[in-house]
Structure 1
């Protein structure tokens, strides 16, 4: 809960700082008597921030770059961990395979007993 409160506080501080900057800009523009002075840089900055359109092959290239960086972030298991995980998975497959086999055999036996048919 404390972490959430800290995040809220920091967001409030950031918003207050933004408001203060906007008020300062507004005060400067009103002192100059020109409201267009603040809108022109905003338009220029908006044009600069527009993303450049990337073609099909560019998107594929970016996707492979992203995959490469994500693979670098992955925590790979050591050989001993890999062996342990593999044994655990194989053991669980065997256990669940036997369980499914037993349930299937029971259901078939119940159907044969209920209907009296041998199939």
Structure 2
């Protein structure tokens, strides 16, 4: 039974050591990532912009129509709700707005 406990303790030590080593490596990697230059940043931006799939004119027009219709719908909905609450307040409290 003592051998089992010794093995367990040695496994715990190895695990603790490996966790500590992994933390050191992670700390070094995070330090390396923080040391990027401005030139590298813009190079990365250019690469990412190259991956962007831009919409066609037809898609852009369709998306624009959808956005305008959605905005108009919500504007009318909020106006209707606001008018409804105003009518309720006028009826219940006798409030008049000038």
TM-score in terms of structure 2 length? 0.60
Unaligned ranges ≥5, structure 1: 1-45
Q: Structure 2 CA distance, aligned partners of 1:52 and 1:108?
A: 57
Whose RCO is larger (CA < 8 A, sep 6+)? 1
- Give the C-alpha shift of residue 61 in structure 1: 2.5
Unaligned ranges ≥5, structure 2: 1-24
Choose which of 26, 34, 54 in structure 1 pairs with 2:35. Answer: 54
Runs of 4+ in 1 over 4 A off after TM superposition: none
The 1:76/1:117 distance shift into structure 2, 3 A limit, reads: same
Structure-1 residue corresponding to 2:7: none
Q: CA RMSD in A?
A: 2.5
Deviation per CA, 1:47-69: give whole Å up to 9, x if none: xx9748737xx2x3322222111
Choose which of 58, 63, 68 in structure 2 pairs with 1:80. Answer: 58
Structure-1 residue corresponding to 2:42: 64
Structure-2 residue corresponding to 1:111: 89
Q: Secondary structure at the match of 1:86?
A: helix
